[in-house]
């Protein structure tokens, strides 16, 4: 078993490296549950560009991958893999149209990580269902992540010295992290519908204001919390609680059920 290099003194949101992928023109055909219309390609590009700049400003060295026209959702690099200082894990998306994204990202992960584990065949997991907290990795079951995949992932996480727990995602919610994010080592931002399940026992929970549920997919990176700019009440709430909020537009990616965590894989390099 590897030693977990995340000592309590190092927050799990201390990142110095990230991988992103430029959105393809085909992003307008990205998967979505609702019918709020197609996103606008130029708008997605602009949102992505501002996001990458914000990662850089937060102190992260960003590796940018090229477009993959054959995979409309490939800009959401969070889903085909998991990354930790100890190594990377290649996942298996539950969405058929996204299965090929794993091979497409494997090479760059092998360039960055000495250890790259693979989810064995037989189960599905998408990174959007994984919330990494200081004490454990939470694996949300959803339409994209099943029990077989979650159990297999638990074994791989154990090789990294990481405890994990399988939890439920509310019905009709795409991913576990669609409804929550980590604000600091003890605090999560959650929708009321997810918090109701008591999944966050032992955490301080900040609830998203009614009508701003989509703000729950925020992203803590080092000293800042990135929050969707369309959610002013959430921004005010977090600001009042003393967080340094960076507001980023997510209007276009929101049309294909995405938020701020989806567009990057983030980690802290083990050698630091
Ligand atoms: C999908 O349905 O797969 C994409 N349209 C959105 C993925 C969002 N990913 C994430 O929350 N990690």
**pTM of the model as a whole:** 0.96
Answer whether 101 contacts ligand 1 (Cβ < 6 A).
Answer: no
pLDDT in tens, 68-126: 999 999 999 999 999 999 999 999 999 999 999 999 999 999 999 999 999 999 999 99
Radius of gyration, alpha carbons of the chain? 17
In the predicted structure, residue 6 carries a pLDDT above the cut 60: no
Answer whether 78 contacts ligand 1 (Cβ < 6 A).
Answer: yes
pLDDT in tens, 173-185: 999 999 999 999 9
pLDDT in tens, 239-259: 999 999 999 999 999 999 999
Answer whether 27 contacts ligand 1 (Cβ < 6 A).
Answer: no
To the query of whether residue 112 is one of the catalytic residues in this protein, the response is no
CA 103 to centroid of ligand 1, rounded, Å: 18
Mean pLDDT of the chain: 96
Percent of the chain scored above 70 by pLDDT? 96
d(CA 176, CA 7): 25
Work out the pLDDT band at 22, boundaries 50, 70, 90.
very high
DSSP secondary structure string for all residues of 3-56? -----TTS-TT--SEEEEEPPPGGGGG---SS-S-PPPHHHHHHHHHHHHHHHH
Answer whether 257 contacts ligand 1 (Cβ < 6 A).
Answer: yes
Sheet holding 265-267, edge to edge: 61-65, 17-21, 265-267
- pLDDT higher at 5 or 50: 50
To the query of whether residue 175 is one of the catalytic residues in this protein, the response is yes
Domains observed in the chain = 11-267 (3.75.10.10)
Answer whether 73 contacts ligand 1 (Cβ < 6 A).
Answer: yes
Work out the pLDDT band at 35, boundaries 50, 70, 90.
confident
Q: Closest ligand 1 atom, CA of 256?
A: 5
Q: Closest ligand 1 atom, CA of 178?
A: 11
Which of 9-13, 103-107, 142-146 has the lowest average pLDDT? 9-13
CA 128 to centroid of ligand 1, rounded, Å: 7
Q: Which of 174, 181, 218, 260 to mutate to test the pocket of ligand 1 (most atoms within 8 A of CB)?
A: 174
Answer whether 258 contacts ligand 1 (Cβ < 6 A).
Answer: yes
């Amino acid at each position: 078993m590897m030693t977990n290099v995340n000592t309590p003194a190092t927050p799990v949101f201390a990142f110095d490296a990230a991988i992103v992928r430029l959105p393809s023109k085909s992003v307008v055909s990205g998967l979505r549950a609702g019918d709020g219309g197609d996103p606008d390609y130029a708008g997605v590009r602009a949102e992505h560009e501002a996001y990458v700049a914000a990662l850089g400003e937060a102190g992260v060295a960003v590796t940018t991958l090229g477009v993959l026209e054959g995979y409309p959702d490939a800009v959401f690099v969070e889903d085909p893999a998991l990354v930790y200082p100890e190594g990377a894990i290649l996942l298996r998306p539950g969405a058929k149209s996204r299965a090929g994204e794993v091979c497409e990202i494997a090479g760059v992960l092998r360039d960055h990580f000495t250890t790259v584990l693979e989810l064995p065949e037989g189960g599905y997991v998408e990174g959007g269902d994984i919330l990494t907290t200081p004490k454990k990795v939470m694996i949300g079951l959803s339409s994209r992540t099943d029990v077989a995949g979650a159990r297999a992932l638990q074994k791989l996480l154990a090789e990294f010295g990481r405890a994990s727990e399988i939890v439920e995602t509310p019905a009709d919610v795409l991913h576990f992290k669609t409804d929550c994010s980590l604000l600091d080592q003890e605090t999560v931002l959650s929708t009321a519908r997810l918090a109701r399940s008591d999944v966050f026992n032992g955490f301080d929970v900040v609830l998203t204001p009614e009508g701003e549920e989509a703000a729950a997919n925020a992203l803590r990176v080092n000293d800042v919390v990135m929050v969707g700019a369309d959610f002013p009440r959430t921004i005010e709430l977090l600001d009042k609680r003393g967080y340094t909020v960076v507001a980023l537009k997510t209007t276009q990616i929101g049309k294909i059920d995405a938020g701020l965590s989806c567009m990057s894989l983030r980690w802290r390099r083990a050698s630091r």
